[in-house]
Amino acid sequence: MKNFRFVKMLGLLILIGCFVQCTVVREGEVGVKRKLGKYNNKPYQEGLRVFNPLTSRIVKISTQTNNMEVSLAIPSKEGLNIRSDVSILYNVIPSQTPKLLRDIGPSFEENVILPVFRSAVADVSSRFFAKDMHTGERTTIEASIRDQMMKLLDGKGIEIEAVLLKSIQLPASLANAIEEKLEAEQQAQRMEFVLQEERREAERKIIEAEGVRDAQKIISEGLDQNILQFKSIEAFMELAKSPNTKIIISDGDMPMIMESEGSGRVNTRNVTQRTSFFDK
């Protein structure tokens, strides 16, 4: 009797297992129930979901930010092919997941995103020169590709967050030309700095010379014969204070000193300070 009940319960569990199964929709996912080949219009949020495996299944799609890596040759305006690795950051809009699965299917990366990206990048990059991909125009190129993709994917349930150009490899000849140009620009900037310094130094010397000229002009305009005689008297008085024995010969304007040295020779020298404003 007990064996019969056990077999009955086991058969019931097997029967239930054949008609009822469950799955867990995790956070960052949506589940769409497909019954008899038709997708339900309402997606399932995270949680435990029960379905009949004989007639239905639940397709789970990630709604988190996904990174799609693409390596390709990007055409430039001058006709060069620039090798680059590109990251396409996108996410699926949860409310539009059923429509996405009905119209495109679960392989939407290969069927839609990649072809749309190749078309957009060829259209946008052909409007820019190769050297622009190494300058501030790079951000403009990325934004333009992203906007172009959003136009083509409008209403399909996919949002392109960003397109990032990475590992751009220019042709060797073009890379060398860009480096030489940058080096020449830096050299020109250094030369301009040197010229500016020279101009400042020349201006400083001119200002200094003008100051000296104006000072001497003011002094010379203020001198007369009486002041010059007064300065001569001051010079005589300073000589008189000297403890050394001297013979002073003067014509009244400029004193001359004759002093004996240890060898017995006579040394004659001027003691008046010769400045420009003392000269007659």
Q: Work out the mean pLDDT of the chain and round it to a whole number.
A: 76
Six token digits for residue 18 = 């054949």
Q: Which of 141-145, 204-208, 224-228 is least confident?
A: 224-228
Average pLDDT over residues 136-149: 90
163: helix, strand or coil: strand
Residue 190 pLDDT: 84
Residue 148 pLDDT: 93
Residues of the chain with pLDDT > 90, as a percent, come to 14
Residue 267 pLDDT: 45
Q: Which of 86-100, 171-185, 250-264 is least confident?
A: 250-264
| pLDDT interval class at 278 (50, 70, 90) | very low
- Of the spans 37-51, 143-157, 200-214, 265-279, which averages the highest pLDDT? 143-157
Q: Which tops the pLDDT comparison, 273 or 200?
A: 200
Instruction: Return the CATH class of domain 66-173.
Output: alpha beta
Residue 106 pLDDT exceeds 90: no
> 43 near 30, Cβ under 8 Å?
yes
Residue 163 pLDDT: 92
Q: Which tops the pLDDT comparison, 59 or 230?
A: 59
Burial of 226-238, coded b for 16+ CB within 10 Å and e otherwise, reads eeeeebbeebeee
Q: Which tops the pLDDT comparison, 124 or 169?
A: 124
Alpha helix positions (H), 47-155: 97-103, 108, 114-125, 137-152
Convert the pLDDT of each residue in 9-62 to its tens digit: 655 556 555 556 778 788 888 988 888 888 888 888 887 777 677 777 888 888
Answer left, alpha or beta for residue 176, where phi above 0 means left and psi between -120 and 50 means alpha: alpha
Average pLDDT over residues 104-121: 90
> 259 near 247, Cβ under 8 Å?
yes
Residue 117 pLDDT: 93
Residue 162 pLDDT: 93
Q: Which of 92-101, 214-223, 239-248 is least confident?
A: 239-248
Query: Whole-angstrom Cα distance, residue 159 to residue 153?
Result: 8
Convert the pLDDT of each residue in 171-199 to its tens digit: 666 656 666 776 777 788 888 888 888 88
Q: Is the dihedral of CA 38, 41, 45, 48 positive or negative?
A: negative
